[in-house]
Every structure is written in structure tokens, then in C-alpha cells.
Amino acid sequence: MTEVTTIQLFSLELPWAFNGTMDLEIVVKNRSLYGREDGFLRVDLYPRVRPMVHERHFGFWDIPLKIVHTERMSARLDLDKGTLKLRDGSQKDAWRTVQGLRIPFSEQGNVIIHFSHWDTGKGEPRMTEIRSYSILLAEESENKCLDSPLKQIHIPVTDTCNLTCSMCPRNNERYPAGASHMAEGVFEALLKEVPNVSCVMIMALGEPLLYPHTVDVVRRCRERLPVAGEVGITTNATLLNETMARDLIEAGLGFLYASVDGAAKATYERYRVGAGFAEICANIRRFTKLAREYTSACRTMMNFVMMDGNVDEIPAFVRLAAALGVENVTLSYEHGHHSDELNTFGEERLGSLLAEAAQIGADIGVNVGTPPVSRSPVERCFCTERVLTSPDGGVYPCPMLQPGYNPDGMVLRFGNVLERPLREIWESEPYQSFRREVLSGQFPKACANCGFKAFLTP
């Protein structure tokens, strides 16, 4: 099946899965771009896991606007040869190879394609607009054979928290009673698989910095990961004092994700009950400053959960991030809703806010990750190359199938790392069958009412 997504200036028509060679259609509806000497269209490919790290870039190819003269162009991308070829409309079966740069890297799994317009009329090339797509690189492109490798492990150091956020699944009736730190033996069991993945996320439904050994977890994961791998952490930033910040950076932290659901004190403190807005802003600002002083590769990101009472602060949130030295922000829907309930703000209203936020980000140097404002015509899920674990060692395929998240109370657990190795659980027939169904778009019953497969960010 070919998925079609169109925007005003340009778009791509792509298959969902490919095995390294892909036929695609380049659509340029804006005739003002035809034949221009001052720009190009760029096709970039990244693995979904850690898509911002250059060393893991598949490559990019530039299409000069001066050769664009029609609304549609057929193209063929061959990752093995490192070529992007355009069919020459003036000659039957003739192809033209466009300029590109292939980074020698090949890894199956979910891939992000960025398709962007660049203006070269004022000196240095400047990106003016971008469209992102998600596809799957697999050995076989037939639905019944689809699978993806394990690339990311979520390590749940604790389910305890120092806040009582109104939107947190911990505070609904479906969440199991009680909370605890990671059970003895769970980390050691997970650590055995760390050398085989690209990314480790230290997160759960608690605040990781409450766990007394979090810095050691970061250090030991960093020591075991491949050179190009990285370890990250999510935090509410309330405990991110100077000592903790220095310890995390020195331990080799690759990225820090701070949850900040408001751009103003009153809004933030209404949702993040128990936290102080001024305090967390100071903590994040100090962390970004220290990361620069250490010349650390550690990135800082902030996430904003969109809700009725804060959605109008989205543009101000981007400005806040810049003021705190944060270079990346993401805007996400609230967990625990069905597919048709995620965007409760209206497409026009939310679309306008997201467009304004993206423009502000482009102007002040903040990367803004925005979700779709409407349901995708084809539902997909990208949880198929990561595992989530609970403090007791349980293994789950995604957040929405962990206890507490699912609006229907659905829970799907494939085993426990204290009973079987994680790799054995990952390769078990029930787990493989689940991934094949998800990747084929024939979602299992457990995924029936998940809201995120229809509103996923590319």
C-alpha cells in the first residue's frame, strides 16, 4: 500500500516498507519552484531511533529546482548503491542521478524521511519548509514477513514520584496500588542486552532522579553501549540540582528530556502539582549551561503535553525553551485517549498554534517536533523496535499496554527478565507475532482503541 501525504509546496508518495531499493513519486504542485536557480529539494533518511545523530544518518540527496519542470517525477532510491535517480521525462526509460551523500550505514527498522525545500538565493542554503514521513526498512517488504530489530530498552528505575500531576496515569483508578524502586536483579538482567541496542531510556511512571543509583545506571549503560549508542533520561527536573547535573553529564548522559507542561507559572504549577516553575526553569538553564561548559554531546529537550488549559501557551513554550538554552522541544497528546479523542482542540486551532510554534522555532534556533492535527488515513505504530519494562522486570511492547495507561484497562505482558533473558522474550513467537501484526497494519485486539497509532509524529 502506498501512503500519500500532500502539503502546499511539495510532497512524497512512498511505500510503507522497502528492502533498500524504493520507487517513489516526487510531487511539486507549486509551479513557482519550477526551473529556479536558487534552491533545491533535499531527501534525508534517518533511523527513527536517535534520528538527530549525524553518525547514524543514512544519507541525503539534493534535487536542484532547475531540473524540476513537472508536477510529478518518478524516482528510485537505492541505499546499497547510494543513489537517487529521477526518470527523465523527455527520454523513455532514461534516468538522471542527482547529487547526494551516502553515509555508509545500514540498519533495518523504522526510518524517517525528511523532504525539505532549501533556498540558496541569499548565500548559505536555508531550509524554508520540511515534511517528514515514516517508513520501514526490512529484509522482506511483504506484510507477513515484516519485523524490526530491538534498538531501544527502557529501564524503569522507579515508579515512585515526588509530584501528583493531574494527567499522569499514576493518578487514575486503573493504575496498580503501590510504587517501588527497581527490583533486585532487574538492572543486571537488562544490562546484558545493552551492548546490542542503540539507545537506553531511563524512564518509567516515576521520577528517575529519586532512585539513588541513577547516575551509576547511566554510567554502566554508557560503558556497555556501542560507540554510536546513547543513554537518555526523562525527568520532571525538580531534583536536577548542580551536583546531579554534573554527575549525569560526567557519567556520559546523551540526552535529557524534561517534562514542562506550561510556559507560565500558574499553568505549569496547576498541572505539575508539587513543583515550582521558577525552580525547574533554573535547574534546566543550569543543566544546559553545564553541558556546554563540559563540551558535552548531551542534548537537552523539553516535552509539552497538550491539554485544554495549556494549549494556547505552545508558542510561548518554544520561546521559554530558547531562554533556558534548550535546543529541542516536542509537543505531544495526552495519554489514555481513544483514536478519535486525541485532538480535542480542533484542527484549525491546533494547526495554527503548531505552525506558529514551528515558525518561532525556525527563527530562534529551536527544533520543534509537532504531532499531526488530524487522524492519519493509515494507522501505524513505531513501538516495534523498543521494549518497556516495569520495576518488577515485566516486559511490555509499548506504554499504552502497561498497567494504568490504557483507557480500557488493557495490559499486554510478554514475560519477565527475572525469569527469562530479554533477548529470549523478544524473539519468542507471541512477541514476534505481535510485531508482525502491528507492522502490517493488521493491529491485534490489544491495540484496537489506542489513540496514538492514528496521530503519531513522523
**pLDDT for the residue 153:** 96
**Measured between alpha carbons, how far apart are the two ends of the chain, in Å?**
18
Q: What is the pTM of this model?
A: 0.86
Q: Note whether residue 146 is domain-resident.
A: no
Q: Is residue 142 part of a domain?
A: no
CATH, residue 101: 2.60.40
Q: What is the mean pLDDT of the chain?
A: 87
C-alpha angle 68-69-71 in degrees, rounded to nearest 5: 95
- Strand locations in 290-378 (E): 299-305, 328-332, 367-369
Query: Is residue 143 a part of any domain in this protein?
Result: no
Q: Are 207 and 237 in contact (CB under 8 A)?
A: no
CB 334 within 8 A of CB 404: no
User: Residue 197: helix, strand or coil by DSSP?
Assistant: coil
Place of cell 509537543: 331
Taking residues 245-266, what's their average pLDDT? 97
pLDDT per residue over 176-226, tens digit each? Answer: 666 689 999 999 999 999 999 989 999 878 999 999 999 999 999 999 998
Task: Quote the pLDDT of residue 147.
Answer: 87
Residues 196 and 324 in one domain: yes
DSSP 59-103: EEEEEEGGG--SSEEEEEEETTTTEEEEE-TTSTT-EEEPPEEE-
380 in a structural domain: yes
Query: Grid coordinates in use for 41?
Result: 529539494
| Residue whose cell numbers read 523532504 | 115
Residues 94 and 166 in one domain: no
CATH code at position 158: 3.20.20.70
Domain co-membership, 181 together with 92? no
76-90 residue pLDDT tens: 998 888 889 998 655
Q: How many domains does the chain fold into?
A: 2
Average confidence (pLDDT) over 249-269: 96
Residue 424's CB is within 10 A of a number of other CB atoms, namely 12
Q: Which of 114, 137, 160 is the last residue of a domain?
A: 137
Domain coverage including residue 302: 152-454
Residue 5: C-alpha distances to residues 115, 132, 133, 377, 440 (Å): 12, 10, 9, 9, 19
Q: Are residues 160 and 133 in the same domain?
A: no
Asked whether residue 59 falls in the same domain as residue 83, the answer is yes
Residues 115, 248 within the same domain: no
In this predicted model, what pLDDT tens digit does every residue of 104-141 receive, in sequence order? Answer: 656 788 888 889 899 998 888 888 888 888 888 887 76
In a domain, 86, yes or no: yes
- Domain assignment present for 5: no
Residue 144 covered by a domain: no
Q: Categorize the per-residue pLDDT at 5 as very low, low, confident or very high, splitting at 50, 70 and 90.
A: very low
